[in-house]
Amino acid sequence: MSNLYRTSVIANMAHIFSVVTGYVVGTYKQFIPKDYFKTVHIATKIPIAQDQDGDKHAYLKKSKPILSVKPRIEFDFDSEYLNVYFSTMNMFDPKDRDNLNNIFQDYTHEMYLDMSLRRVRFSFDVTIIVETQVQQQNLAYYLINKIEPSTPYYLRDTVIETVIPSEFINEIGRRSGHIDADGKIISISDFVSYLNANSRQPITYKMKTSSGKYEFFTSYLTDAIINFESFPSLDDGETKGQISTNFMISQNCVVDVTVPGFTYFSLMTEDEFIFDSSYDELSSLLSVEVIPIIPLYYEAVPKTNAQGWHITTHSGYMVEADIAEEVIPIHQLFTLNQNRIIKYHSENGIETPFLDVIVYENKNVISTDATRVSVDYTDLTAVTLKIKDALKENSYYFCIYENNSYMNTILKKLEKVDE
């Protein structure tokens, strides 16, 4: 397909930055006994949700032990063998879709999404802060025996999530009939089903609770290499009067990983959208959006719940500020049949559960705690999910499962009534 007409947008590096940082935080925590750290701090000026304190030392006042990670991106490193490989495979050439990472293809409407790849190195200064020198020495000795310096740890099948440019999503939705003339998605569940029916990789979405807008993501598997370059180093702590505290253990690590370059939108025919400059790459280059640091990937979400019910809808969402109770409108995520049965239950006073909403905070299920999570069916035209004590530093994700057997039984009754 060398005669395709193309336009492109560079990948959102801030989001990739946060995804890789999330892996490093998760990997480092795996070396330490579970629940050891009371605070995780991301020491960067990049707008990641965990790092929003005005006082750069405010995190030292938080509960210890503290895991502090300062990330950087390195472009100047020895990646010659990788670039030679990519060049040999023609992966820098957008003219050939076969050598790009294919995301989406709709042969009916003749439109395609592809992505170029590049190997990048991330460097991390990892610091652990504890209260006493005894804790510092004990933990340092533990790490020396646990982590071997200059030995690569391979993170096989690492899932890298990347943002699909909104301009391309909107154009795909418009051309396929899933987005109306006003730019609104007609049915989010139908649109996501259409995208995944024509994609080679999972396409997921997250909802911004403040605006109600959606962002779309895709992901791909790659192998990452994490290497701790030195033994842990110890400081002498901070002295306040006669008391010493805030003892630190420092260690550096690097991560080599393949990340997205450009996302290409292609059409078989010449079209003004391809030459439209109104969505140029300044939107991505000037982006300062806050990105959750620990994403929950669709691959990690069970396809069935404990009762064997199948998942029908899944969505991440972003909390812009700490809030006592986050209220999320989820009625528009229900399918037509789910809404019919919800209405049937309400009109007949039936309380048989047939939907199961599971909510994750980071990667922990919190929907089993009825004091924190509830679904409000009071207004059937505006069913809401309520979560108490939602924090901006966390990543949230919810899944809706349905009892297909029960639903089919009720739907048969409703069909007979309609006759």
pLDDT of residue 393: 67
Domain-located, residue 149: yes
Give residue 347's Cα distance to chain centre: 39
Same domain, 278 and 307: no
pLDDT of residue 98: 58
Domain-located, residue 291: no
State yes or no: pLDDT of 4 exceeds 70.
no
Q: Which range, of 160-169, 265-274, 330-339, 406-415, averages the lowest pLDDT?
A: 265-274
pLDDT of residue 227: 87
Across 302-326, average pLDDT = 80
Rounded to an integer, what distance in angstroms lies between the CA atom of residue 279 and that of residue 272?
Answer: 12
Spatial contact of 142 and 150, defined as CB atoms under 8 Å apart: no
- Whether residue 260 is preceded by a cis peptide bond, meaning omega within 30 degrees of 0, is no
> Which residue range forms the structural domain that includes residue 236?
5-285
Rounded to an integer, what distance in angstroms lies between the CA atom of residue 357 and that of residue 309?
Answer: 11
Same domain, 217 and 260: yes
* E strand residue ranges, 134-210: 152-163, 203-208
Domain-located, residue 336: yes
Same domain, 210 and 341: no
Same domain, 281 and 317: no
Domain tally, the chain: 2
In the listed set 252, 285, 318, which residue is the last one of a domain according to the structure?
285
Domain-located, residue 290: no
Same domain, 228 and 324: no
Tens digit of each residue's pLDDT (9 = 90 or more) over 162-198: 888 888 898 899 999 999 988 888 888 788 889 988 8
Go through 351-382 and write b for each residue having 16 or more CB atoms within 10 A of its CB, e for each that does not.
Answer: eeebbbbbbbbbeeebbeeeebbbbeeeeeee
Domain-located, residue 93: yes
pTM: 0.65
pLDDT of residue 297: 44
Spatial contact of 382 and 329, defined as CB atoms under 8 Å apart: yes
Share of the chain above pLDDT 70, in %: 77
pLDDT of residue 57: 53
Instruction: Give the confidence band of 89 by pLDDT, cuts at 50, 70, 90.
Output: very low
Same domain, 268 and 381: no
Same domain, 325 and 400: yes
Q: CA dist 57 to 42, 61, 68, 265, Å?
A: 12, 8, 11, 44
The mean pLDDT value of the chain amounts to 77
State yes or no: pLDDT of 76 exceeds 80.
no
Same domain, 17 and 114: yes
Spatial contact of 403 and 354, defined as CB atoms under 8 Å apart: yes
State yes or no: pLDDT of 137 exceeds 90.
yes
Spatial contact of 36 and 65, defined as CB atoms under 8 Å apart: yes
Closest CA to 102 of 114, 120, 117: 114
State yes or no: pLDDT of 151 exceeds 70.
yes
pLDDT of residue 415: 78
Same domain, 161 and 305: no
Domain-located, residue 363: yes
pLDDT of residue 417: 57
Domain-located, residue 129: yes
pLDDT of residue 77: 60
pLDDT of residue 8: 77
Same domain, 258 and 391: no
Q: Which range, of 71-75, 99-103, 293-297, 373-377, averages the lowest pLDDT?
A: 293-297
Tens digit of each residue's pLDDT (9 = 90 or more) over 317-368: 767 677 888 888 787 778 778 888 888 888 888 888 898 989 888 778 888 8
In the listed set 235, 258, 285, which residue is the last one of a domain according to the structure?
285
Q: Which range, of 202-216, 371-385, 389-403, averages the lowest pLDDT?
A: 202-216
Rounded to an integer, what distance in angstroms lies between the CA atom of residue 384 and that of residue 161?
Answer: 27
pLDDT of residue 309: 92
In the listed set 285, 315, 349, which residue is the last one of a domain according to the structure?
285
Rounded to an integer, what distance in angstroms lies between the CA atom of residue 301 and that of residue 309?
Answer: 13
Domain-located, residue 293: no
Same domain, 326 and 381: yes
Same domain, 359 and 404: yes
